[in-house]
A and B are shown apart, each in its own frame.
Chain A
Amino acid sequence: MRRGWPFYAQLGLTVLLCLFIVVPIVMSALAGVTVNVFKGLSSGLTLRWIFEVWDLYAQSILLSLWLAVACLVVTTLAGVPLAYVLVRRPNRLTRMFEEILTLPVAIPGLALALALLITYGGFGSFRSSWVFILIGHVLFTMPFMVRSVAAVMSAMDMKTLEEGAASLGAGFWHRFLHVIVPNAMPGILAGALMVVTLSIGEFNLTWMLHTPLTKTLPVGLADSYASMRLEIGSAYTLIFFVLIMPLLIAMQMLANPGKKRRAASQPAEDE
């Protein structure tokens, strides 16, 4: 294959961009396990900073994980039936509701938090509980779950499935739980992945809503960066990467299942 200079120039730009993205990630990961960041790798590797981070911020890491799971449960329980209604009864009312549902994604997290604080800031115990933050996460992530499930459902021809099940005597809830939901599982799984990833990484909203007792992982990260201790910040970021990378990779794999197959069939001319 002829590969002229335009190819290599573009490849160079691509690699440069990749380096731009990756170098700081690698640097921070290394800084998190290096004994003396200023001396560099020659000073040796250590897990000391990671342990220190755990001492300081274990609470926030666990809270983030807990929130992600809780968010998943709430969005699934509320979102799957919602998706069903939106697909099964596409009238003006449901379409308008879908618009409203998606608004929290279009509006900056800051503004959402502000709205919640103005409304519920006065309810002391509610305001300082983790449920308050959960609400914010649910508002932001539910549209993704609903869209993901609705996409699978609308490709599914639910009407025929339901009619088939009904003709065999199944009542509504039976159909819903044993026919609709299992068939919508790919959408639910993709949505679940998305919800968990978004929840763990959510910052703008959570920062406004948090209290010293309800710190999540990203909030803790911001704290550690402000503390000016590079090793702690780096180690904490490393923990964040370790948590989120598998999720991102899983999402990428979900999005490109046929890539290898397609690439292999590309050059073969068919005529």
Chain B
Amino acid sequence: MALQNLGEGRSRPSFSRYFGMSRSAMASPATFMALMAPGVAIVAAFFLIPLVLVAMEVTNGPDGWATYLVILTNARYFESLVQTLLMSAGVTVVALILCGIVGMFLVRNRFSGRSVLIGLLTLPLSFPGTVVGFMVIMLAGRQGAVGSISNALIGEKTVFAYEIAGLFIGYLYFSIPRVILAVMASAEKLDPQLEEAARSLGAPRWRVVRDVILPGLMPGLVSSGAICFATAMGAFGTAFTLATDIDVLPMVIYTEFTRNANIAVAAALSIALGLITWLCLSAVRFLVGEKADLAARGGA
């Protein structure tokens, strides 16, 4: 009470003058600053300053300022970047296709058990990457389900958990829940009258999909694709747990920092990686609006 009165410049509240004046219901600038203080302090001390220090740390590297570009100049890092990009892009495409079909199907058809299926498909949303890696081992490891099935069918155990296929499966595992939710949200906004109109003009099913449904879903597909790509690029836990040969960028950063104590390089690579993921998610926000990027992130 006292703080407010100070801000308003009054010594005691005067109700009749408050009534109808919008300015009086606003807290003073001092109050606003006090409200923001804790949040700003946390972000400044533990995010902004560290960011700056990281940027500066890069210049301590062997090449000085050129270290910023080490991701491009060094063959090994560049190869890792390319591998990560390809992996992420591949997972994104497969996830979009699978979830596009399944998402539309779930939105357009009502049947008993539908909500169970949706619930199951979105379970892994908050699994950490390491658990996803373990799931891959469960599926395709030495005691895995796929191995047992193939053993029964062709007498040979198929084990691919620790190869690139295993990593791909793992990335797919945490991508599917995100993409499916986004596709379903997008599909629910489609206007069924557009499809009826196309049908009334004689269009068979495949034409309706091509000319009406896909164009309608496109913004949702693009934004969920970008989120999927960004998440895959930054994923660490899955690759770490599976310890495959393939060196995705987060793993390279990790080994450079912890094993090789190559802090400057790790910092440079982190900045490059952070830039890529941030650009992806900014593009999403630009396309679709505020809520999409946060809604699908989290975990992995």
Which A residues are closer than 8 A to B by beta carbons?
Answer: 6-7, 10-11, 13-15, 17-18, 20-25, 27-28, 31, 37-38, 74, 77-79, 81-82, 84-85, 88-89, 97, 100-112, 114-120, 135, 138-139, 142-144, 146-147, 151, 159, 162-163, 165-167, 169, 171-174, 194, 197-198, 200-204, 207-208, 218, 221-222, 225-226, 230, 233, 237, 240, 244-245, 247-249, 252, 259, 263, 266
Contacts and interface: CB of A to CB of B under 8 A. Distances in A.
Nearest to B250: A110
Interface of A is mostly: helix
Which of A14, A174, A233, A252 neighbours the largest number of chain B CB atoms within 10 Å of its CB?
Answer: A14
A108 B297 CA distance: 11
B158 interface: no
Contact of B237 (A38, A167, A203, A237): A203
A66 B169 CA distance: 33
Given A78-B39, A115-B53, A208-B254, 11 more contacts: A14-B105, A20-B173, A81-B35, A97-B43, A103-B47, A118-B267, A162-B25, A167-B15, A172-B28, A173-B3, A198-B126
A211 to B, nearest CB: 13
B164 interface: no
A174 B1 contact: yes
Nearest to B180: A17
Contacts of B32: 85, 88-89
A112 B266 CA distance: 12
B254 to A, nearest CB: 7
6 contacts: A38-B143, A109-B234, A138-B46, A173-B3, A174-B1, A244-B127
Given A18-B121, A21-B124, A163-B22, A85 B36 contact: yes
A173 B3 CA distance: 9
Contacts, number: 279
A107 B131 contact: no
A25 B130 contact: no
B131 A218 contact: yes
Contacts of A89: 32
Given A82-B35, A259-B115, A18 B273 contact: no
Interface in B263-295: 263, 266-267, 270-271, 273-274, 277-278, 281-282, 290-291, 293-294
Interface residues of B, number: 99
Contact of B253 (A110, A162, A218): A110
A85 B38 CA distance: 12
Given A18-B121, A118-B53, A118-B263, A240 B47 contact: no
A221 to B, nearest CB: 5
Nearest to B46: A135
B64 interface: no
A142 B42 contact: yes
Interface string B167-206: 0000001001100000000000000000000000000010
A14 B102 contact: yes
A123 to B, nearest CB: 12
B125 interface: yes
B13 interface: yes
A133 to B, nearest CB: 12
B119 A225 contact: no
Contact of A201 (B3, B19, B28, B127): B127
B101 interface: yes
B109 A7 contact: yes
A263 B50 CA distance: 50
B39 A25 contact: no
A221 B130 contact: yes
A119 B53 contact: yes
A145 to B, nearest CB: 10
A15 B120 CA distance: 10
B12 to A, nearest CB: 11
Nearest to B126: A201
Residue among B43, B53, B54, B139 with most chain A CB within 10 A: B43
B4 to A, nearest CB: 4
A17 B54 contact: no
Residue of B53, B101, B294 with highest tally of chain A CB at under 10 A? B294
B276 to A, nearest CB: 9
A166 B18 CA distance: 7
A150 B131 CA distance: 32
Interface in B98-144: 98, 101-102, 105-106, 109-110, 115, 117, 119-131, 133-139, 143
B221 interface: no
A200 B119 CA distance: 20
Contacts of B281: 105-106
Contacts of B137: 225
B138 A107 contact: no
A77 B36 CA distance: 10
Nearest to B254: A110
B39 A142 contact: yes
